[in-house]
Chain A
């Protein structure tokens, strides 16, 4: 794959002698998915936290309120959307352009790729003076997205639906597909704990992800945030 290899770009010159060139990288379904997915995760994280640590009690008759019910409903609704959107994203990896596949690839045997990961690491450690340019994700981003998201999302879905199967009941499809996870993790309480730890893994990923996106947008020689909004990657020199 060539998408992480820096190339010379010949584009129109602008006033100060720098070259600006833009490539269409992220197609519309991918961009739509990115922002919907971000929304679902925020909803899942907030409601999930509130499921484990409910808000102060509401006064009045129990039949007058349904707070915990709505919070759980929001969690489950977002969970279904999140899971179905991920299926859609997997489908798009098959039919979309080459950059749509990156999220699901971990080029373990690609020496060049590892070198690029190391380069990025050095760049983040201030050991490289100038950043490189990439058409798709930079290798460091791909690395962290693969571990935190590509493995993390199915993990949350599997543990989440296993939890859901407890309410859906014995014999439900959730139980048939995911019920085996409960004894595997040593019971229901452990399953809650494992699912809960996932929340914090996602929080940390999101912090690093957004920081890296903003930083690289300013520091590196290419656009990032506008790329995931408009789809076009512009190289600034």
Chain B
């Protein structure tokens, strides 16, 4: 007999009252009308629990660390109780063969019905030998578990884009999971780490509605990745006014001016930090005085300095940004044009001199 979510939550000590609170919280964090609260509750009470298998590859565990710090302890407890904690490297009680047996158990019992959540990514070089757990390359485990999963969640920038372990020249060939898992819906929840409330909301949405959230072109849930940090940043009025910090310790910086000139990547980063914020909504990087580094964007680790507004181009041998390259090219072309003009003038003067000589000679002939 497979339990419903509600039964499991009650068994974990969640009261009916807390359960209802959780349902309204979920509805509001997903941007749903209050009318959805009873629907969420009903789904939770009647639906059999969908286990989540959580795999960890090449990663730093910041996603797990973030997840268990979800701001509302309530949401965290509830969501944790939904997870199949039988297999989660950081959180499971079992170890060794016991743990692997537990995983096999889940795969068999819930075949085609569990959700696979992946933290980190598989390195593919040297037959995947750079990341081994239980004696097998991670890529093999990943593909085996993904084969019978209902859907796959890519936690964080590692699973979604590769992240720092994929930084040039990427010696282990760390590869985002959508390159090795095919034919399954993959939900990317990028960030380094992703915001805990975003993680729990995504999980809750999938479990209660039994479908994946609306995704954008890059496979991210639209509800949390539909806008840039810059679109909702509280320093935006300073940006629009044209008030920028130019050094970390200047007066403008103390006044809380916009960090654009300090290389803030808020204008190019899709994430919910400026609305949901971090640590129970206490703050987020920009509020603490540092620009966004774009940690949820593809390739953020390879896009030059976090402190440059205009990215350096490495294609030109030396590091220079588009303006420096452009000014250099313009100077060369401008110089060439000036030289060409000078040469043209000389040629023309000579030609004219010759012409007048000829004319003079003619005149002399006819005159003489």
Contacts and interface: CB of A to CB of B under 8 A. Distances in A.
B228 A200 contact: no
A170 B294 CA distance: 19
A68 B322 contact: no
B268 A204 contact: no
Interface in B299-320: 299-300, 303, 309-311, 313
B309 A57 contact: no
B231 interface: yes
B165 to A, nearest CB: 18
A211 interface: yes
A58 interface: yes
SS class, residues of chain B in contact with chain A: helix
B334 interface: yes
Given A53-B310, A188-B268, A207-B330, A63 B237 contact: yes
Contact of A166 (B228, B239, B303, B344): B228
A219 to B, nearest CB: 7
Given A54-B260, A166-B228, A170-B216, A196 B244 contact: no
SS class, residues of chain A in contact with chain B: helix
Interface residues of B, number: 52
Interface stretch (A18-26, A90-98, A178-186): A178-186
A65 B268 contact: no
A158 to B, nearest CB: 16
B257 interface: yes
Contact of B241 (A49, A58, A192): A58
22 contacts: A53-B309, A54-B260, A55-B242, A57-B242, A57-B244, A57-B252, A65-B241, A66-B240, A67-B241, A126-B344, A166-B228, A170-B216, A170-B226, A179-B217, A180-B217, A196-B310, A199-B322, A200-B327, A203-B330, A207-B334, A211-B341, A215-B340
Given A53-B309, A189-B268, A207-B333, 11 more contacts: A58-B243, A63-B237, A66-B240, A68-B242, A69-B240, A71-B242, A167-B231, A183-B298, A187-B268, A197-B325, A219-B348
